Amino acid sequence: MTGSGVLTRIEACIPALRRYAAALLRNRDDADDLVHDCLVRALDKLHTRRDDADVRAWLFAIMHNLFISQLRRAKARPAGESLDETHEAALSMRPDQENALQWRDLIRGLNALPVEQRSVILLVSVEDLSYADAATVLGVPIGTVMSRLARGRERLRQLTDEEAVRPVLRRVK
Amino acid sequence: MSDPALPIAEEDLHAWIDGQLEPGRQEAVLRYLQEQPDVARRVDAWRDQRDALRAALAAMATDPVPPRLKLDRLIQQRLEQRRLPWRAAASVLLAFGLGGVGGWFLRGGQVPPEATITLLAQQAVANHVVYTADRRRPTELGAQQRDDLARWVSNRLNHQVAPPDLSTDGYSYIGGRLAATPDGPAGLFMYDDPQGVRLTVFVLPLNAAASMPIQHVDFAHVDGCAWIDNGVGYTVVGKLPPPELRRIAELVRRQLG
């Protein structure tokens, strides 16, 4: 395995890292800061990486650890308002989509989930990580990944159902 | 979980949605969903949710990557922060296992050409030191199999090359081999003079590398001359006085260029 091969594979992961970070942090600038720190850390640790380890899972794990320590630091500060611009970022790309409304509700629901459930849903559903890789990235057993995924999906289903139902109820009133 | 007789658990349903269900369970899950329409509706909703999330977030991954997240730029910044001269920087890269000369580092022409020459020569010297020290079996194919070696190396390098003839300078060809580098295979041709002093010619294709004139590179115990022509790096290595080495490098260049 060549060093240059690893760099090419890291580079190929950057768009997915940015998407995951933005959906997790609900803010694109913060997300790019996190991805930046993740890449710097990855370059620091490149020589300690096992050659056979999956580059994508390795990068997501580095980013997750940075995210967790960021959360811990943030707890010391008073909670700021979330900018909640994920759905705008996602939807501004395709303003003409018929699905735009459905997507907006979906992303709103996703943003309302606890971060543990949100990260599992994103890693598995959007980034296509295996359950085992998601467990490694998050540093939890596979069983925990599965239960967070199940709870998160069901909660998100209920949330989006409510969103869909509410305007109808209002009209009836 | 792989036993088809086991009852269906919620995790089977999610694994089915995510395409991570063990093959043996597939049929059991489908049967279960047919028997349980309420569960099947919920599973459909989860699957629709998964598809919609992927679609909604797909555009975020096609966004152009901003300059500050470009990997080559981050690497440049690291090297600059360390304030190393390029030769030292090149050895840091090698130590990190990043010693790619042609593949990645030259893309976009970000790396100063001197660093490319240094990285190229370092690989040539490493192979020179290892193989010329071997008195009994310094080469894979000897002088008699010159054509076989030329074919083999040309195939592996995807570049036509044959051992140059240095007999006019008093060096006879003793054989060659395929050498390993972080940039893939290289060709190594070995020669000696009547006193048994060995000299090697090293050939390494470097995709995008810009051409560089012949340069002298000195290492602890040997000297080299390295250059790049038409995307291929060449190095002549030996314990020779620099002017003599340079003359041989020019001879090689005329034959291989």
pLDDT in tens, chain B (257 residues): 455 567 888 899 999 999 999 888 889 999 999 999 999 999 999 999 999 999 888 888 888 899 889 888 887 777 656 544 555 555 555 544 454 544 444 433 455 666 778 888 888 988 998 899 888 888 989 999 999 999 999 999 999 999 999 999 899 999 999 998 877 899 999 999 988 889 999 999 987 677 889 988 877 778 899 999 988 999 999 988 888 999 999 999 999 97
Q: Does B15 touch chain A if contact means CB atoms closer than 8 Å?
A: yes
**Facing residues of B47 across strands?**
none
The pLDDT of residue A92 is 46
Q: Which of B12, B47, B49 to mutate to test the interface with A (most CBs of A within 10 A)?
A: B49
SS3 per residue for chain B:
CCCCCCCCCHHHHHHHHCCCCCHHHHHHHHHHHHHCHHHHHHHHHHHHHHHHHHHHHHHHHCCCCCHHHCHHHHHHHHHHHCCCCHHHHHHHHHHCCCCCCCCCCCHHHCCCHHHHHHHHHHHHHHHHHHHHCCCCCCCCEEHHHHHHHHHHHHHHHCCCCCCCCCHHHCCEEEEEEEEEECCEEEEEEEEECCCCCEEEEEEEECCCCCCEEEEEEECCCCEEEEEEECCEEEEEEECCCHHHHHHHHHHHHHHHC
Q: Does B45 touch chain A if contact means CB atoms closer than 8 Å?
A: yes
Amino acid found at B257: G
Q: Does B1 touch chain A if contact means CB atoms closer than 8 Å?
A: no
Q: Does B2 touch chain A if contact means CB atoms closer than 8 Å?
A: no
- Contact state of A15 with B52 under an 8 Å Cβ cutoff: no
Q: What is the CB neighbour count within 10 angstroms for residue A83?
A: 13
Residues in chain B: 257
**Chain A nearest C-alpha distance from B144 (Å):** 33
How far is A142 from A129, CA to CA, in rounded Å?
12
- Contact state of A93 with B53 under an 8 Å Cβ cutoff: no
Amino acid found at B227: W
The pLDDT of residue B240 is 86
Considering only CB atoms, B100 lies closest to which of A3, A90, A150, namely A3
The pLDDT of residue A76 is 61
The pLDDT of residue B91 is 54
- Contact state of B49 with A102 under an 8 Å Cβ cutoff: no
A104-159 per-position pLDDT tens digit = 888 889 989 999 999 999 999 999 999 999 999 999 999 999 999 999 999 999 99
* Averaged pLDDT, A154-171: 68
ipTM of this model? 0.83
Considering only CB atoms, A11 lies closest to which of B57, B59, B71, namely B71
The pLDDT of residue B4 is 55
Q: What is the dihedral of CA A137, A141, A145, A148, to 10 degrees?
A: -120
- Contact state of A2 with B100 under an 8 Å Cβ cutoff: yes
The pLDDT of residue A88 is 54
- Contact state of B59 with A90 under an 8 Å Cβ cutoff: yes
pLDDT band at A70 (very low <50, low <70, confident <90, very high): confident
Considering only CB atoms, A32 lies closest to which of B66, B96, B105, namely B66
Top pLDDT among B46 and A43 is at B46
- Residue recorded with tokens 């090297």: B79
**Chain A nearest C-alpha distance from B62 (Å):** 7
How far is B9 from B102, CA to CA, in rounded Å?
52
- Contact state of A106 with B66 under an 8 Å Cβ cutoff: no
Q: Tell me the whole-structure pTM to 2 decimals.
A: 0.57
The pLDDT of residue B107 is 39
How far is B186 from B204, CA to CA, in rounded Å?
5
- Contact state of B18 with A125 under an 8 Å Cβ cutoff: yes
- Contact state of A16 with B61 under an 8 Å Cβ cutoff: yes
User: Which residue of chain A comes nearest to B49, CA vs CA?
Assistant: A157
The pLDDT of residue A93 is 47
The pLDDT of residue B118 is 80
Q: Does B223 touch chain A if contact means CB atoms closer than 8 Å?
A: no
User: Which residue of chain A comes nearest to B12, CA vs CA?
Assistant: A146
A8 CB neighbours in chain B (<8 A) are 103-104
For residue A114, is it left (φ>0), alpha (ψ between -120 and 50) or beta?
beta
Top pLDDT among A42 and B83 is at A42
